[in-house]
Amino acid sequence: MSETLYTVSSSPHIRSKDTVAGIMRDVLIALLPAAIAGIYFFKFQALLVMVISVASCIAAEALWQKCTHKPIAINDYSAAVTGLLLAFNLPPSIPLWMPVVGGFFAIIIVKQMFGGIGANFVNPALAARAFLLASWPVQMTTWTLNGVTTATPLGILKSGQGELPSLANVFIGNIGGCIGETSALALILGGLYLIYKRVISWRIPTAYIGTVFVLTFILGRNGFGTANPVYEIFVGGLMLGAFFMATDYTTSPITPKGQLIFGLGCGIIATVIRIFGGYPEGVSYSILFMNLFVPLIEKYTAPKVFGGVK
C-alpha cells in the first residue's frame, strides 16, 4: 500500500500571488496620470523635483541597508513610491535641495529606523512633508503657476480674498498648489485603477471624501450651507490623500470596519482644520494623526476568534 506524503509548514496556509514589488508597481502606474498632469501644468521644474525626490529616497534606502549590512531591497519599488508621493506633496518652485532632505528624512528617520517596510507607524512621505513645512514654511507655501506666484483655492477660501478658479480648472488641475495634488481628474483615475486591481479597498477613500463632503456642507465656511462641498472635495490634497496616502497598508487598518472608522476620522479632522484652523489644508495632518490610532482601531474592530475563550 502506497503512502501519501504531506508537506507540513507553518501558517499562513492561504497564500497570495501578490508581491511587494507588484503592488508598488501598480501604485506607480496609478500615480502616472497625476505625474503627467503635474509636468504639463508646472513644466520642467516639476519633473526635476520628482526625479530628485525619487532618486533621494532610493539612495537613502540603499545607503542605510548597505551601512546596516542588510540586503539591498530597492527593487521592491517601495522607496520609489515614497519619493514620488513626497514630490507630489511639494510646491513646484521648491529649492531642489529640499526634496533630498525630505527623501532622506522619510526613508531613514521614519521608515528604516523603525524597522523598514511594514514597520513604520506613520506615512513616510507625509511625515517628511510635515518636517519640511515646519522647518522651511516659506518655501513650502510658495505656489506658482506658469512661472507666476499664485494662491491656492484653499488659501483663497480661507482668506476670503481673491478670485476662485472655476470648478473645471480645479477638476483638471490648472491651478496653483503642490505638484501632484492639483488634478482631481488624474488622481481619481489612478485611485479607480487601484480599486479595480484590488490594491486598495473602496472603504477608506469613500469614507474620507464622503465625510469631508457632508461636514463641509453642514458647517459651511460662513455657517450652514454656505460652502460648496463639490468644489471643496476637488481642491487641496484630499484626492491624493484619500486614494494614495490614507490607504497605505502599514499605517491604515486592515479590518473593514476599522477602515471606515479611519476614513471617517481623517475626514472630520481635515474638515475641522480647513474651516476652523489657521492652516488652509488639513489632509496631511489628519492622516498622520489617525495613523497613531490604527493599533487601537484594530484592537476594537478585530473579528472574534471562533471558539476563543472570553
Q: Where are the domains of the chain?
A: 20-296
* Element housing 291 (H / E): helix 283-291
Classified as helix, coil or strand, 153 is helix
Q: For residue 177, give Cα distances in angstroms to 12, 90, 203.
A: 45, 8, 27
Among 231, 134, 125, 136, smallest CA distance to 179 is for: 125
Tell me: pLDDT of 83 over 80. Answer: yes
256-276 vs 294-301: helix crossing angle, rounded to 10: 140
- What percentage of the chain carries pLDDT values higher than 90? 68
Among 178, 183, 155, 161, smallest CA distance to 239 is for: 183
- The pLDDT, as a whole number, for residue 105 is 96
- Residue pointed to by grid coordinates 490607504: 247
Tell me: pLDDT of 76 over 50. Answer: yes
Q: For residue 159, give Cα distances in angstroms to 43, 50, 151, 162, 272.
A: 28, 30, 10, 8, 16
| CB contact at 8 A, 24 and 82 | no
- At 279, the pLDDT band (50, 70, 90 cuts) reads confident
- Residue pointed to by grid coordinates 488639513: 282
pLDDT digits (tens, 9 = 90+) for 215-254: 999 998 888 877 889 999 999 899 999 999 999 989 999 9
- The pLDDT, as a whole number, for residue 56 is 97
pLDDT digits (tens, 9 = 90+) for 5-55: 556 665 555 566 778 889 999 999 999 999 999 999 999 999 999 999 999
Cell for 273? 482644520
Burial of 229 (0-12, 13-18, 19+ CB in 10 A): middle
Write the single-letter amino acid at 135. S
- The pLDDT, as a whole number, for residue 280 is 87
| SS3 assignment for 210-266 | HHHHHHHHHHCCCCCCCCCHHHHHHCCCHHHHHHHHCCCCCCCCCCHHHHHHHHHHH
Question: For 150-170, what is the mean pLDDT?
Answer: 87
Cα 106 from Cα 109, distance rounded (Å): 6
Classified as helix, coil or strand, 14 is coil
Question: For 168-185, what is the mean pLDDT?
Answer: 91
- Which conformational region is residue 155 in: left (phi greater than 0), alpha (psi within -120 to 50 degrees), or beta? alpha
| CB contact at 8 A, 278 and 158 | no
- What mean pLDDT, rounded, does the chain reach? 90
pTM: 0.90
Q: Is the peptide bond before 295 cis (omega within 30 degrees of 0)?
A: no
pLDDT digits (tens, 9 = 90+) for 95-154: 999 999 999 999 999 999 988 888 889 999 999 999 999 999 999 988 887 767 788 888
Q: For residue 47, give Cα distances in angstroms to 21, 87, 92, 101, 180.
A: 23, 9, 9, 17, 11
Fold of the domain spanning 20-296:
Ammonium transporter fold (1.10.3430)
Cα 37 from Cα 12, distance rounded (Å): 42
Sign of CA dihedral 32, 34, 37, 41: negative
- At 1, the pLDDT band (50, 70, 90 cuts) reads very low
- At 162, the pLDDT band (50, 70, 90 cuts) reads confident
Question: For 262-275, what is the mean pLDDT?
Answer: 95
| CB contact at 8 A, 188 and 181 | no
